[in-house]
Homo-oligomer: A and B are copies of this chain.
């Protein structure tokens, strides 16, 4: 496959359009897995008004590319797309999209899970939540580190 598509943007994304970009006019794709991460209306039981996503632009691009390259070398993919939004996002809105296409389903599922585990634990993005009590930075969760670690080759 050609290089993965990576976009970091404030704008929302359109899943149907992203799927079409990886499948239209070709007949070697048998499986497409999409993961969309959506802003929930509460965090640890407390209602939130919005999230603001900060990131480290140069590093985020480079780091995500390193991981899409790794996914492409580990699984026989026909296409791979990562879109990560930044800026202010309200409950119900999309945050992130990972899309993996392959001839068979296992590769597509594995690659999408691998990239999501990576993005959660190691991509340089930080979420700040706005609630009734003001704004505060969301703390990282230990089980996201554990989820990311299971892909490390020993």
A: which residues have CB within 8 A of B? Answer: 14-16, 19, 23, 25-42, 91-92, 103, 105-106, 108-109, 112-113, 116, 120, 147
Q: Assembly of this chain: how many copies?
A: 2
Query: Measured between alpha carbons, how far is A31 from B113 in the docked complex, in Å?
Result: 12
Q: How far is the CB of A90 from chain B (nearest CB, A)?
A: 9
Could you jot down 9 A-B contacts, CB within 8 Å? A27-B40, A30-B40, A31-B37, A32-B38, A35-B109, A40-B103, A105-B120, A109-B113, A109-B116
User: Is the CB–CB distance between B37 and A105 below 8 Å?
Assistant: yes
Contacts of A41 in B (CB 8 A): 27-28
Contacts of A26 in B (CB 8 A): 92
Contacts of A91 in B (CB 8 A): 27
- Known contacts A92-B26, A109-B113; A19/B36 CB under 8 A: yes
Contacts of A29 in B (CB 8 A): 38, 40
Query: Measured between alpha carbons, how far is A15 from B17 in the docked complex, in Å?
Result: 10
